[in-house]
Chains A and B, each alone.
Chain A
Amino acid sequence: MKADLVSFLCGIVFAIGLGISGMTRPAKVIGFLDFTGAWDLSLAFVMIGAISVFFVAYRLSRKMRTPLLAAQFSIPKRTDLDAQLISGAAIFGAGWGLGGFCPGPAITSLASGAMPVVVFVAAMAAGIYLYAIVQRFGRTRAAHVALASADS
């Protein structure tokens, strides 16, 4: 219960941070990505601020056996680079540049009630489901292939 309240409060702080920083404004995002136009470097400062704080917190977490309100840390452990990571990031970046929204600011901006944001978030949800479907199909096919090769 306490953890759920923490998550809720962290969501609020995260959203306020996004709003103050300019991340909820596609004009700022697209300005940041417009290297050959009127380049607006502001959003680099969002990253500097956020990464610096998190860098310290992560060092701190390495010294703790468990988090304060949970049984264990769940932190990604992979270090390999693969085509899936890079193509996924490239596809995400294309969508980010096209619409000017990434997931956090899009969800936060739903509160504005603006229809374009609602449409973007609905399409984003569809994209997430599409990936789940593709992944399930891939797994089924891989299973069939494995079965077929086991038979032969």
Chain B
Amino acid sequence: MHHFTPFAALIGGILIGLSASAMLLLEGTIAGISGICAGVLNPAKGDTAWKVCFVAGLLAGGMLLRTVLPAAFDFGIIRPYGMLILAGLLVGFGTRLGNGCTSGHGVCGIGRLSPRSMVATVTFIASGALVVYLVNHVLGGSL
């Protein structure tokens, strides 16, 4: 059973929003993590340093969480390796094809009231829900 944690979720969400806001107001960029990852993996001249620094920050933040809030890495559910590999491929490919993920579309795009991001967000939540339904309720949580 999972616990409903609206307060922690809201605080965490505000921190995510503050980070994305600082990137926008200070650097003029959208903190879309899938785009940042792609930029690190396929570097383009003059537009890579900030992405590498942001990813380094995510990792440093992760190290901090590990000591201060280890519960953040109580994953709860870890899918089998085959499923994780397929999931990773879909996430990597899909975010490039659709130009964004939960941060770029779900937070920054909706915050800009972008119709593309609203449609993308509704779409990825719906397809995620469909897959969870299939895996959890049709296949019984195992593949």
Contacts and interface: CB of A to CB of B under 8 A. Distances in A.
A74 B29 CA distance: 6
**A13, A26, A107, A108: most-surrounded residue (chain B CB, <10 A):** A108
A140 interface: no
A107 B37 contact: yes
Contact of A15 (B4, B20, B42, B57): B57
Most chain B CB within 10 A, of A5, A91, A92, is at A92
Interface string A66-95: 111111111110111100111111111111
Contacts of B55: 11, 107
A13 to B, nearest CB: 4
A79 B19 contact: no
B13 A17 contact: yes
A26 B62 CA distance: 16
A11 B86 contact: no
Given A99-B83, A123-B87, A130-B89, A76 B30 contact: yes
Contacts of A52: 14, 17
B1 A67 contact: no
Contacts of B127: 89-94, 97
A137 interface: no
A54 B64 contact: no
A48 B8 CA distance: 12
Contact of B10 (A45, A85, A132): A45
B116 A58 contact: no
B91 A25 contact: no
A85 B116 contact: yes
Contacts of A3: 26-27, 50
A19 B74 CA distance: 10
Contacts of B107: 47, 50-51, 54
A18 B18 CA distance: 12
Interface of B: 1-31, 33-34, 37-38, 41-42, 49-51, 53-66, 69, 72-79, 81, 83-99, 101-103, 105-116, 119-121, 123-133, 135-137
29 contacts: A5-B53, A6-B27, A10-B23, A11-B53, A11-B54, A13-B57, A20-B72, A21-B9, A26-B77, A30-B77, A45-B7, A47-B13, A50-B13, A50-B17, A51-B107, A56-B21, A61-B24, A67-B24, A70-B28, A75-B30, A88-B96, A91-B97, A100-B79, A101-B91, A102-B101, A111-B59, A111-B62, A111-B65, A128-B96
